[in-house]
A and B are shown apart, each in its own frame.
Chain A
Amino acid sequence: MSLGEGLRMAWRALAANRMRAGLTMLGIIIGVAAVIALITAGQAATSSVTSSVQALGSNLISVTPVRSAGVILYPEDARWLLEVVPQIRADAPLVEASVTASYETVSWSTTLIGTTPAALAIEGRKLAAGRFLDAQDLRLDRSVAVLGQTVAQNLFPGRNPLGQTVSVNGTEFTVVGVLQSVGGAFGANADNVIIVPISAAEWVAGTTELTGIEAEARSAAIAPLAVAQITAVLNHRFATTNAAAVISQDQILSTLSTVTATLTLMLGGIAGISLLVGGIGIMNIMLVTVSERTREIGLRKAMGASRRAILSQFLIESALLSLAGGAIGVVVGIALSLLLTHLLGAGGVSLSAVLLALGFSLLVGIVFGIWPAANASRLDPVQALYHS
């Protein structure tokens, strides 16, 4: 018996019981659609996180002092670091504080970042309007501020913030620039900032301690060396083995992508379980089908069908059932993925997820069809034929 003949037979058997076939397929449809949609969501998260980290500047190294080890850095340490570590091209000290910014009657919780003009290039950010901090601002101790998109939109809805005065924890700043959004649903925090000259931030925060230093390696290739060098000089200076957490953007990226890959795998796995449940549904229905069609099996055997022919007949039937469910599931899954992509602003349908889901559904049909089909093929012709 040829495969074409088997497919034709299976198609007729399924068509004869449409309602049942449809309900059985539903399990596979849901499973496959879920696998595709969730993998798409996971990959959207990955690409979104990756792109927002990459937007931070390609050779970024962040240095965070370990306070519990008694390590405290001050603004002049940034200048010192630039001198003693030849692998870095620029660096910027950071003083951060959680603050409430207000304009007229509107208040907004945000993060104040005090830094130097070098920070713009190091973080690889761009201006949407106005200018960034400059050397004059620092030298003359000007109270100027550059707003992140989120802050600008919330304090100045539909208005131009440039030239306006915002109050940050009671201290007034003149807005001189607005940053472009770094984009991505998961990168929202980088847009909720107010950047001011470091001395002004020290005043607002009431401390001259740095939250950290951001440095830029001379090249991506040299970044690991820069990380090692920064670590070494800080450890040496503070006579400890863990003066600071020194992390390059590469490391952040690889850590994050491990996390998101795990997330994607988990989501896919959860969806895979529903496919498995769909497979059990198929097995159940195939067992019912085989027992209902015992006489037919007996007759086919009497007409000369070999065990193999009966086995493949029912195996093809269950495989077709789950593959058809898989195909419908792919259509539903792609529709869901497009919707998710639209909502998250990232992602896109993953071809590998589609192929994986289809392949898995075929596998499920065969694996869960084997037992019922083997039962059918093992039936004794006489007993099957005279089965009532």
Chain B
Amino acid sequence: MTDVVRVEDLRRTFRTGAIEVQAVRGVSFAVTEGAMVAIMGPSGSGKTTLMNMLGCLDRPTGGHYFLGGEDVARKGDDALARIRNRRIGFIFQSYNLLPALNALENVELPLVYRGLAAGERHLLAAQALSEVGLGRLTSFRPYELSGGQQQRVAIARALAGTPDLLLADEPTGNLDSASGEEVLDLFLELHRGGRTLIIVTHDEQVALHCERIIRLRDGEVLLDQPVDARQRRTKGDLGSRAVAP
């Protein structure tokens, strides 16, 4: 199988005045097409920093990042914008929907920057929204939707451009467990559909839904293991049913 992502000795050092913070210090791993990987680690271990580099929002200060075999670590702003637009779907903890736009328009956003005509955009966005089960809420504004629904709109937005790689930074962090399970179910479905997913999480239960867990500590890979098939969850389960009386 081809590697969608391969990082070699990836580094990111922040400099603020005299202070230097090595947020990511020499991380190497590869993710094959269709994989579903969790990244875990304590707060400040460099998860978000790593994800931002994987998402081409940020450039590493050292090492290599091969996205679909192409080294993108030293590319210019415009090239990175193009990669973000066409090859990456990013999902944030805080959804990041634009409040002035309705669900459909939010999902259309990456397609606008791809230069698609309005008709085609509507079609693709509507498709993506029905894929996440919100086909009937296209004209709702973010404030009219629940947190879980908002995150599903954000997932639809990431899907609409049919990217090679889906990245989610604590996608369930802001959700109650029932909504979190819905989102996890959605990820499992996307995984079954052959999408490549990397999910950052603090939640062991979330990680157990993935095939593999990469554990970071102080900007380095501590452990990189497949999830035991017996422990693995194949259905969204964060214990909300168990808690119910």
Contacts and interface: CB of A to CB of B under 8 A. Distances in A.
B96 A304 contact: no
Nearest to B53: A382
A382 B81 contact: no
Nearest to B118: A5
B115 to A, nearest CB: 7
Contact of A303 (B52, B77, B85, B115): B85
A20 interface: no
A300 B112 CA distance: 10
A300 B77 contact: no
A303 B163 CA distance: 11
A303 B84 CA distance: 6
Contacts of B228: none
A302 B55 contact: yes
B151 to A, nearest CB: 15
B65 interface: no
Contacts of B157: 303
B100 A12 contact: yes
A304 B100 contact: no
A304 B111 CA distance: 9
A307 B57 contact: no
7 contacts: A302-B57, A303-B84, A303-B113, A304-B113, A307-B78, A382-B52, A385-B96
Interface residues of B, number: 24
B153 to A, nearest CB: 13
A385 B112 contact: no
Interface of B: 52, 55, 57-58, 77-78, 81-82, 84-86, 90, 92, 96, 98, 100, 109-110, 112-115, 157, 161
Contact of A301 (B81, B92, B115): B81
Nearest to A9: B112
Contacts of B100: 12-13, 16
A296 interface: yes
A299 B91 CA distance: 11
A385 B98 CA distance: 12
A317 to B, nearest CB: 13
B85 A385 contact: no
B113 A382 contact: no
Contacts of B78: 306-308
A307 B86 CA distance: 16
B121 to A, nearest CB: 10
B112 A307 contact: no
Cβ-closest 7 pairs across A and B: A304-B85, A303-B110, A304-B113, A306-B81, A304-B84, A381-B57, A303-B109
B86 A296 contact: no
B84 A302 contact: yes
A136 interface: no
A352 interface: no
A5 B112 contact: yes
Nearest to B110: A303
Contacts of A296: 98
Nearest to A306: B81
Given A12-B100, A381-B58, A382-B52, A304 B82 contact: yes
Interface in A269-309: 295-296, 299-309
Given A299-B98, A303-B85, A385-B96, A1 B112 contact: yes
